Amino acid sequence: MTDPADLSWDCPVLHVDMDAFYASVAARGRPDLAGRPVVVGGGSRGVVLSANYLARERGVRSAMPMTRARRLCPRAVVLAPDFDTFSSVSSSVIETFRRVTPLVEVLSLDEAFLDVSGSTRRLGSPREIAEQVRSYVHDEQGITCSVGVAAAPSVAKLGSRLAKPDGVVVVPPDQVVAVLHPLDVGDLYGVGEKTRSLLHRLGLVTVGDVARTPVPTLQRALGHHLGAHLHELAWGADRRPVVARHAPAFFGGEPDRSMGAQETFGFDTDDRDVVVRELLRLAGRVGRRMRVAGVAGRTVAITVRFADFTTITRSRTLPEATDVTSEIHRAATRLYDALGLQRARVRLVGVRVEGLVPCVRVHRQLLLGEPERGWREADRAVDRAIRRFGSDAVAPASLLGGRATRSA
């Protein structure tokens, strides 16, 4: 108990964030990569998913176009992402967290909140627990993480950022204001580039500036919700409890509200047939994931991004929820055709189904008829074949040979 402030915390929260997670996992067991910049990403039109710290020294950042990253850091080793491995390492790390506390709120593959208020008697001060978590992760998974410790989740999250890489930052309650207020407003969770520059234009540059601005003023500038929310965050007053849950729809988790898939073409296209075939592939992917999860949805939405990067969405709500690939595809195609595009060059299309509910709650009138019943059974057969033989085994006839259009 080196930290007297620890004792005054009614509810200490840890935010654990893996350091350059994808890049670290991808480089594990690769001594040949030691001392080299590593970038995970790919595709001719892709972006950086993760960069290790040597690559970051050259200015490489997440979400940066790969072309730019290669220019900034020609020596970088570029690795393709392997999400199966990332997921499995992530699951192991989360199991490690659960040895410390059952109150683990998983935010993504590489970060989580841990409420350790029930663990201090057994494991020591919050700082000591943070160090234990770090050594467990390092010893068992061979990667490093950073931990922020505070009484509020939002402050703990800022702490882990300040701790990076490979460190711990504890922000006791009586130091929250001193730590928060000098930071740039862009450091607040929920403030991206647009909101940051809006606030800067208003003369609100630091978190302290936001904290000292009346809530109604913030609400006029940012909207009712965000205005009030940012004011709270600026005082470190986020008292949202840590909720034990797994982000994706795993057991016990809340079902996703929507499921979608999208894909950028290898080359922009103005060929309707190419787009409609792609919509079929995407509808198939989404439908299969919905059937695996046991959910159905009523609203089908498409996204279309044009060559100039302008992006539109169109959606239509069906009379009945569906998880049938052909129904999703039909709705998506109608939405696309309703755009009435002539020579527009399309860069990306996406399909999403929203308003998901568990299938058991969908009281389909099964008198609906044979055609629909037939499609459902066809979907099940395809799902079974894919489970047995892999996703290359089965495809609608119209997709056969279609892949060349994406990679040619």
Partner DNA sequence: TCTGGGGTCCTAGGACCC
Binding residues: 17, 110
Show the site string, 359-398: x = touches DNA by CB under 7 A, - = not. Answer: ----------------------------------------
Query: Which range binds DNA by CB under 7 A, 44-52, 175-183, 238-246, 382-390?
Result: 44-52
Residue 36 or 406 with smaller CB distance to DNA? 406
Show the site string, 188-227: x = touches DNA by CB under 7 A, - = not. Answer: -xxxxxxxx--------------------------xxxx-
Which segments of 30-177 are extended strands (E)?
38-41, 48-51, 77-79, 104-108, 111-115, 145-150, 168-170
How many chain residues interact with DNA (CB under 7 A)? 57
In the complex, what is the shortest distance from the CB of residue 395 to DNA, in angstroms, rounded to a whole number? 17
Could you tell me which of 304, 300, 269 has the C-alpha nearest to residue 286?
300
- Choose, by CB under 7 A, the member of 7, 29, 32, 63 that binds DNA: 63
Could you tell me which of 10, 71, 15, 13 has the C-alpha nearest to residue 39?
71
In the complex, what is the shortest distance from the CB of residue 115 to DNA, in angstroms, rounded to a whole number? 18
In the complex, what is the shortest distance from the CB of residue 20 to DNA, in angstroms, rounded to a whole number? 12
Contact between residue 195 and residue 205 where contact means Cβ atoms under 8 Å apart: no
CB-count exposure of residue 405 (10 Å: 0-12, 13-18, 19+): middle
Check binding of 84 to DNA (CB under 7 A). no
Could you tell me which of 389, 406, 395 has the C-alpha nearest to residue 284?
395
What's the first-to-final CA gap in the chain, in angstroms? 63
In the complex, what is the shortest distance from the CB of residue 76 to DNA, in angstroms, rounded to a whole number? 14
Question: How many CA atoms, within 13 angstroms, populate the side-chain half-sphere of residue 343?
Answer: 0
Could you tell me which of 156, 155, 152, 154 has the C-alpha nearest to residue 133?
156
Distance, in Å, from the CA atom of 193 to the CA atom of 186, rounded to the nearest integer, reads 7
Could you tell me which of 74, 17, 70, 75 has the C-alpha nearest to residue 41?
70
Residue 36 or 196 with smaller CB distance to DNA? 196
Q: Does the annotation count 111 as an active-site position?
A: yes
Query: Which range binds DNA by CB under 7 A, 4-12, 42-50, 124-132, 237-245?
Result: 42-50
In the complex, what is the shortest distance from the CB of residue 169 to DNA, in angstroms, rounded to a whole number? 16
Residue 164 or 272 with smaller CB distance to DNA? 164
Could you tell me where the DSSP H helices lie in 316-369? Answer: 325-338
Pick out the residues of the known binding site for Mg(2+): 17, 110
- Choose, by CB under 7 A, the member of 1, 8, 28, 44 that binds DNA: 44
Please list every residue from 232 through 271 that binds DNA, using CB under 7 A.
256-264
Beta bridge partners of 41: 48
- Choose, by CB under 7 A, the member of 178, 243, 312, 381 that binds DNA: 312
Question: How many CA atoms, within 13 angstroms, populate the side-chain half-sphere of residue 26?
Answer: 21
- Choose, by CB under 7 A, the member of 108, 217, 398, 407 that binds DNA: 108
CB proximity list for 15: less than 8 A, separation 6 or greater: 111, 112, 113, 114, 147, 148, 149, 150, 153, 156, 157, 159, 160
Residue 313 or 398 with smaller CB distance to DNA? 313
Choice among 105, 111, 278, 327 that is catalytic: 111
For residue 277 the two structure tokens come to 């075939």
- Choose, by CB under 7 A, the member of 281, 330, 352, 376 that binds DNA: 352
Distance, in Å, from the CA atom of 245 to the CA atom of 103, rounded to the nearest integer, reads 8
Could you tell me which of 216, 219, 194, 191 has the C-alpha nearest to residue 206?
191
Check binding of 78 to DNA (CB under 7 A). no
Query: Which range binds DNA by CB under 7 A, 31-39, 93-101, 164-172, 314-322?
Result: 314-322
| Dihedral sign computed on CA atoms, order 134, 137, 138, 143 | negative
Could you tell me which of 169, 171, 165 has the C-alpha nearest to residue 56?
165
What crossing angle do the helices spanning 272-293 and 370-389 adopt, rounded to 10°?
Answer: 80
- Choose, by CB under 7 A, the member of 5, 33, 78, 107 that binds DNA: 107
- Choose, by CB under 7 A, the member of 6, 19, 105, 110 that binds DNA: 110
Check binding of 285 to DNA (CB under 7 A). yes
Residue 70 or 123 with smaller CB distance to DNA? 70
Residues that bind DNA (CB under 7 A): 43-47, 49, 62-63, 65, 67-68, 71, 107-111, 157, 189-196, 223-226, 256-264, 285, 289, 298-299, 308-309, 311-317, 347-348, 350, 352, 355
Residues taking part in catalysis: 111
